[in-house]
Every structure is written in C-alpha cells, then in structure tokens.
Amino acid sequence: MRVHVRVPATTANLGPGFDALGLALDLWNETIWTPTRDGKIRVTISGEGEDILPTDATNPVVAAALSLYDRVGVTCEGLRVHCINRIPLGSGLGSSSAALVSGLLGANALLGEPLSREDILRLAIEAEGHPDNVAPALLGGLVVSLLHNGQVVSIKLPARAPRAPLRATVVLPKFEFPTEYARSILPRTVDRRDAIFNISRAILVAEALRTGDVDLLGKAMDDRLHQPYRLPLIPGALAAMEAARRAGAAAVALSGAGPSLIAFSSDGNPEIGEAMRGEFERAGLEARVLHLRISEKGARVHRKG
C-alpha cells in the first residue's frame, strides 16, 4: 500500500485577524508514504529544504507521523517517505504546519484512519500551539478559529468570489525571522482603541475575501496588534508595502509573522511583486516572488493498494 498526501501553503493573520484568520494558498507540499517491515525510517526530499532537513526519524513530517502512531498505541515497523517540498521554509507560508498535517494524515491513512479529520485538527493544533495555519491547511479556504472553554473551534468561511477572483503575490526576502522571536517582541497588553481597530477590520477582511471586493480589502487589511512591532525589524519591508500599493495592490500584509509580504489584487499584476522585490534588494536582501491563487481545497489523501 502507498499513501499520497497533499497539503497547501497557508497565510495567517491577514492583517487584523491576528491568531484568528488563516487562508489556504495554491502551493502544495506532497508526501508519498510506503510502509516497510524492516524497522527503519528512510526519508528522501526534493525541493525546498532538501539540503538541510533531516532524513531520519527527526524529520518533522516523520516525527508528526510517529506521534500519531504513539497516540493510537501502534508500533511503527518501518517507513519510507518521499517529500516533495514547494513551500519555502521559514517564510510565513505555513511550512511547519504543512509538515505537521502531512505527517498526521499520512500515518492516519497507513493505519486505516482510526482518527477523524476533527481529531487530526485537534492534534495538529495541540502540537503547533495555535490554529491559524494548521486549520486552513487541513480545511482549505478562509478559516477563522477561536478558543471556547479550552477547545479550539475552527470554521471555514466562504472565500470564492468566482466573478472577481483575487490574486496573491508573495515576496519572500532572504532574512531569518523566527516565529518564536516574532512573538516574543509583541506587547503583553493592547490599547482598547487598537483592539477595536482590529476587530472591525478583521470582520471586513472576511467579507472582502468572500465577495472579491478589492476596495474593501484595501480599507480593511490594516493592523495595530502585531505588524507595527514586526515590520520595522525586517529590512525593506515597510518600503516594500508602499511600493506594492503604488504598483496596484489593493492590500498588503505580513504573511503570518513574516518575513514574507503578501499582496492582494484583482489581476495579479507582475509589477507588484517586482516593486516589492526591488525595495528588499535596496535594503540589501535577496527576495523571490511567488504568484499564487487562493485554494478552496485543503489537505488531500489518496491511498493505493
């Protein structure tokens, strides 16, 4: 038997939706799983991270899979896993969440799916510590998550707008900006006016994505809770945001905690990405551009044999 798992990239926060909103993007990591009985773990990797990611049981995809084996009380007798990575590492595009979801889904399929999708989502959120990337990676589309009585509730919202589909331009500078550090620099308390500012805009971001209203998205995708503290630490980021708007982007935000910026437009004009890249290069950073669509589909699993 072989199992094929596909998991999309994700962008979290979307400006004002800090730790609450996440969106799946049409960029996919794939893993191909083959069970063996020799007691060995073998991992091969192509694409992003192929020269730096481990190829043994410490690989994050395999580690997630083994955690599920432990959870259901089954001993893993051996695995051969091939990873096709397209999501850049440390980019703000949910590479760690994709690895986690890939591992959990792969192991669950190999074991005959003892756990439901809801169980997988809960385990992924427990492992990741926050739901804003793992939830859209699993569910697809636009997802809002909240904590209720100690339980995370994640709901998929409409984000299609077939008559006016939005395009996303992601620009990734070559800059180390670990999520742990990006979280540590945020203040412990926020001003009431800033909370109101974000609450109202997060609601409108969801509505703008539902309808494809780029003008509304441009008015709503702003933030006072995390971007003012993170953006100044990424060389060229503030200038790149302004350059994107001048080039025709309706809205621009940090993708997750960064360092990537994500710009939305109705036409995906390539000048938007080049304008952002130019500002990062002026600040001394190499940068690459990704032109992506929103993915209504989340993770997919196919079994053969």
The pLDDT tens digits along the chain (305 residues) read: 899 999 999 999 999 999 999 999 999 999 999 999 899 999 999 999 999 999 999 999 999 999 999 999 999 999 999 999 999 999 999 999 999 999 999 999 999 999 999 999 999 998 988 888 999 999 999 999 887 877 778 899 877 655 567 899 999 999 999 988 999 999 999 999 999 999 999 999 999 998 888 999 999 999 999 999 999 999 999 999 999 999 999 999 999 999 999 999 998 899 999 999 999 999 999 999 999 999 999 999 999 87
Residues 6 or more apart whose Cβ sits within 8 Å of residue 297: 8, 24, 140, 141
Residues 6 or more apart whose Cβ sits within 8 Å of residue 248: 265, 267, 269, 271, 272
Buried b (16+ CB within 10 A) or exposed e, 67-98: bbbeeeeeebeebbbbbbbbbbebbbbbbbbb
What domain range is 280 assigned to?
A: 167-293
Residue 39, both tokens: 């007691």
Domain endpoint, select from 108, 129, 157: 157
**Could you give the 3-state DSSP secondary structure of residue 231?**
helix
Domain endpoint, select from 130, 157, 184: 157
Is 131 found in the same domain as 34? yes
Cα separation, 291 vs 251, in Å, equals: 15
Distance of CA 18 to the CA centre of its chain: 13
3-state helix, strand, coil in the chain (%, to 5): 35, 25, 35
Which pLDDT belongs to residue 160?
Answer: 64
Cα separation, 17 vs 1, in Å, equals: 41
Determine phi and psi for 92, rounding to 5 degrees. Answer: 85, 15
Q: Does the residue 305 lie in any domain?
A: no
Is 120 found in the same domain as 258? no
Q: Where residue 221 sits, what CATH number does that domain have?
A: 3.30.70.890
Cα separation, 110 vs 167, in Å, equals: 36
Is 272 found in the same domain as 127? no
Domain endpoint, select from 157, 177, 192: 157
Distance of CA 175 to the CA centre of its chain: 18
Closest by CA to 170, choosing from 223, 229, 233, 95, is 95
Cα separation, 195 vs 181, in Å, equals: 22
Cα separation, 221 vs 190, in Å, equals: 19
The angle subtended at Cα 238 by Cα 237 and Cα 239, nearest 5°, is: 90
Is 10 found in the same domain as 63? yes
User: Taking the CB of residue 300, how many other CB atoms lie within 10 A of it?
Assistant: 14
Is 187 found in the same domain as 141? no
Q: How many residues does the chain have?
A: 305
Q: What CA dihedral angle connects 165, 143, 237 and 29, to 10 degrees?
A: -80
Q: State the total domains in the chain.
A: 2
Q: Does the residue 302 lie in any domain?
A: no
